[in-house]
Amino acid sequence: MLTAGVVRVLAGAKPVDFYVENPVFWLKLATILAIGLLSIVPTARYARWRNAAAAPALAELAAVRRLVTTQLALFPLIPVCAALMARGIGA
């Protein structure tokens, strides 16, 4: 996804300035970054739980569930920002 986005910015139909000066573009990138950062802890915990002999504590499960739910709540912003940009909003 990120590779396709970089190629589109650098070699797409719109000039690079369209993206760099567009606040909706930066919101989209910030959302992608936030989702990526939020996924670090659950991924590490899944790996640790896979290797553990005992089931994880309920508090750990709840914390991971909150992080994953937050990621899921943020994800729709990505296509919304893309649609706004496609319509020239923010430029």
Q: Does pLDDT of 16 surpass 90?
A: no
* Residue 18 burial (C-beta neighbours within 10 Å; 0-12, 13-18, 19+): middle
Band (31; pLDDT cuts 50, 70, 90) = very high
Tokens 């914390």 correspond to what residue?
A: 63
Other CB atoms within 10 A of residue 40 CB:
10
Separation between Cα atoms, residue 45 and residue 50, nearest integer Å: 8
Continuous H helices in the chain: 2-11, 16-20, 23-38, 40-51, 58-74, 77-86
Q: Does pLDDT of 75 surpass 90?
A: yes
Which pLDDT value is given to residue 54? Answer: 85
**Residue with the larger pLDDT of the pair 86 and 70:** 70
Give residue limits of the domains in the chain.
Answer: 2-86
Write out pLDDT tens, residues 52-62: 888 889 999 99
Separation between Cα atoms, residue 31 and residue 77, nearest integer Å: 7
Q: Work out the average pLDDT over 9-14.
A: 81
